[in-house]
Structure 1
Amino acid sequence: MRLLPAILISLAIVLAPIIWLLLPAVLVEENLIDGPAIDSGARIEIEMLNQRVEDLQIQMEQLTSELSNVAAQASRAPMGSGGGLNTVPDDADTFRQSGPNEIIDSYAQVVLIANRRKVNDGLVIAGPRHLTKVFGPPREVLSDNCEAMTNPRLKGKLVTEKVGPIRVRMLQPAIDSLREIMKNIQVTDPDLYARINTAGALCVRQIRGTRGRASTHSFGLAVDLNIDGVLDTLGDGKTQLGLTILADFFRSEGWVWGAAWGREDSMHFEVSRQLLDEWIKDGKL
């Protein structure tokens, strides 16, 4: 009977991490909204499942060893009021977790972009040629450096605002649309929302390697995003997991993702032609 309390304590130690890992999987959150939130959670769980299983196995091995040590100490403990099972063992480290137990940062994790050529299905790219045809050039002379917009139709509609966790300068309708996207992200995935960073929005310049061809950024209709300020590697077909989740929200609002480009640019999000035509029809641009 002397071993019973020690065994119960040890079992509690063993079961605690198991309950901690499994409890979130069986709870259902009542206030989830339909849409990308469900995909976001599922994608993270899939990416993290193998790591959690490995962590749990390591903890089980460590705690099994600790259980054996506790049982051995209990069998040697003398009976009586001066010692025994009511006395805290001298080796207090027996009850401490040993070794690191870090969970991989899922949002910043770099993954392959599945079916990246099809991520914009149903959306049409506006593109610099169409934008220049509709609005005219963003400024008279373009260089490789970011300069001020001089287009008389557009420059008065440029605003600089804090939108969610980032501060950007874009055309007003794009700012309004971006704000709606950020609001949806904050409601459905607040942890991801807090990690969003930007590499810039408005930049009136020619596309590098061209002469006089304006980028979509030059019209205030595109923004570059990343997780934790870590820039994506251009053209490798990979991106941060958090950006694949963000892409769902942007696509739902009518934005195109640069991951589908021939030279993949997964930090880049821009307004689709459908959304642009809608704003023009409504007199916003």
Structure 2
Amino acid sequence: MRIVPFIILAIILLSVPLVWLGLQSMVDDDEFTTETGSGIDSGARIEIERLRQQVEALQGKIESIDKKVTEIAARPVASQAQTQATGGLSDEPLTKEGPNAILDAYAQVVLIANRRNVNPGISVGGSRWLEGFLGRPRQNLSNDCEAMTNPKLKSMLVLADVGPIRVRMLQPAVDSLTRVFEKVRATDPDLYARIASSGSLCVRQIRGTQGRTSTHSFGLAVDLNIDGRLDTLGDGKTQLGLTILADFFREEGWVWGAGFTREDSMHFEVSRQMLEQWRKDGII
């Protein structure tokens, strides 16, 4: 069939961007590090995501071409001859063309790449370890947010405006969060201006459990989002802006909830390693 060579050529041409993006993904992460060593180049991350979307669109075209080839091959000989006379193309395009630019990059929802390995070298404390390390924030827990009653923890609890949000957390966590946001503001002021909070302190049990203390109960966790748009829990996706923020938090020693068994990418919490260091330094 005459159309087959043209289809093969089209597939090759459409595959070129796939190869290019694959090569780009092999570039060392250091290329995205700012001169100050804080975070990554947000513009590069956004451009990569734009290219990723273009690749997904091209993959859709390739799948359409493959489907078209299968349909043509399954037609009777007479029908194939008629198809060759018309070039094998219908009046309808294989895919509809349209704008592919990211209009709202930071709030754009994207898949979380390699999400189970987004917290290298650090880990969560877990409710039992935290209770042994800091004490129970409140003796009796329910599914509702209630007051912290542990005297030692309560003495370190503060309500503060930190960067673009207000939080109620332990003082060492507030100090650490302040450092994170200062780096974000200096590196990417556009992203900084769009950060919103979905909550910090909430003394309660983990929903679906009996008496297991949530990390939020200790004043060591905060939920964030971009432009007030809440993330869908457990779908393996997140806002592009949160993937950028995660680099800053990881650098400071915070764990990103995107790596949890049930993905929770709005969630950031102080790592066990940082808490142990605070204890050594007499901070907590």
Same fold per TM (> 0.5)?
Answer: yes
User: CA contact under 8 A between 1:201 and 1:220: conserved in structure 2?
Assistant: yes
Distance 1:261 1:51, change over 3 A: closer
Q: Could you tell me which residue of structure 2 aligns to residue 41 of structure 1?
A: 43
Q: Could you tell me which residue of structure 1 aligns to residue 188 of structure 2?
A: 189
Q: Which AA in structure 1 matches 2:47?
A: E
The CA distance in 2 between the partners of 1:102 and 1:117, in whole Å, is: 29
List gaps (5 residues or longer) in structure 1.
1-30, 53-99
CA deviation string 1:84-118 (max 9, x = no partner): xxxxxxxxxxxxxxxx9985100000000000000
Distance 1:102 1:121, change over 3 A: closer
User: CA contact under 8 A between 2:201 and 2:216: conserved in structure 1?
Assistant: yes
CA deviation string 1:178-213 (max 9, x = no partner): 000000000000000000001000000011111111
The CA distance in 2 between the partners of 1:278 and 1:45, in whole Å, is: 37
The CA distance in 1 between the partners of 2:207 and 2:281, in whole Å, is: 33
The CA distance in 2 between the partners of 1:103 and 1:110, in whole Å, is: 10
List gaps (5 residues or longer) in structure 2.
1-33, 55-98
Q: Which AA in structure 1 matches 2:37?
A: D
The CA distance in 1 between the partners of 2:102 and 2:237, in whole Å, is: 21
Please report how far the alpha carbon of residue 34 of structure 1 lies from its aligned counterpart in structure 2 after TM superposition.
2.6
Distance 1:125 1:226, change over 3 A: same
The CA distance in 2 between the partners of 1:101 and 1:47, in whole Å, is: 11
Q: Could you tell me which residue of structure 2 aligns to residue 4 of structure 1?
A: none
Distance 1:106 1:146, change over 3 A: same
CA deviation string 1:59-101 (max 9, x = no partner): xxxxxxxxxxxxxxxxxxxxxxxxxxxxxxxxxxxxxxxxx99
Q: Could you tell me which residue of structure 1 aligns to residue 159 of structure 2?
A: 160
Answer with 1 or 2: which has the greater Rg. 1
What SS does the corresponding residue of 1:226 show, helix, strand or coil? strand
Q: Aligned-residue CA RMSD in angstroms?
A: 1.9
User: CA contact under 8 A between 1:173 and 1:284: conserved in structure 2?
Assistant: yes
Q: Which AA in structure 2 matches 1:219?
A: F
Q: Could you tell me which residue of structure 2 aligns to residue 139 of structure 1?
A: 138
Please report how far the alpha carbon of residue 281 of structure 1 lies from its aligned counterpart in structure 2 after TM superposition.
1.5
TM-score normalised by the chain length of structure 1: 0.69
Identity of aligned residues (%): 69
The CA distance in 1 between the partners of 2:40 and 2:116, in whole Å, is: 23
The CA distance in 2 between the partners of 1:182 and 1:103, in whole Å, is: 25
Q: Which AA in structure 2 matches 1:215?
A: S
Aligned length: 207
Structural mapping, 1:236-275, within 5 Å: 236-275=235-274
What SS does the corresponding residue of 2:107 show, helix, strand or coil? coil
Q: Could you tell me which residue of structure 2 aligns to residue 149 of structure 1?
A: 148
What SS does the corresponding residue of 2:40 show, helix, strand or coil? helix
What SS does the corresponding residue of 2:129 show, helix, strand or coil? helix
What SS does the corresponding residue of 1:224 show, helix, strand or coil? strand
Please report how far the alpha carbon of residue 124 of structure 1 lies from its aligned counterpart in structure 2 after TM superposition.
2.0
The CA distance in 2 between the partners of 1:215 and 1:251, in whole Å, is: 20
Comparing 130-139 with 170-179, greater Cα deviation is found at 130-139
Please report how far the alpha carbon of residue 283 of structure 1 lies from its aligned counterpart in structure 2 after TM superposition.
1.6
The CA distance in 2 between the partners of 1:177 and 1:275, in whole Å, is: 10
CA deviation string 1:147-184 (max 9, x = no partner): 11011110000000000000000000000000000000
User: CA contact under 8 A between 2:102 and 2:108: conserved in structure 1?
Assistant: no
Please report how far the alpha carbon of residue 261 of structure 1 lies from its aligned counterpart in structure 2 after TM superposition.
0.7
Q: Does 1:279 align with 2:272?
A: no
User: CA contact under 8 A between 1:37 and 1:189: conserved in structure 2?
Assistant: no
CA deviation string 1:4-49 (max 9, x = no partner): xxxxxxxxxxxxxxxxxxxxxxxxxxx95233232x2211122235
User: CA contact under 8 A between 1:32 and 1:188: conserved in structure 2?
Assistant: no
Q: Which AA in structure 2 matches 1:33?
A: T
Please report how far the alpha carbon of residue 127 of structure 1 lies from its aligned counterpart in structure 2 after TM superposition.
1.2
User: CA contact under 8 A between 2:50 and 2:101: conserved in structure 1?
Assistant: no
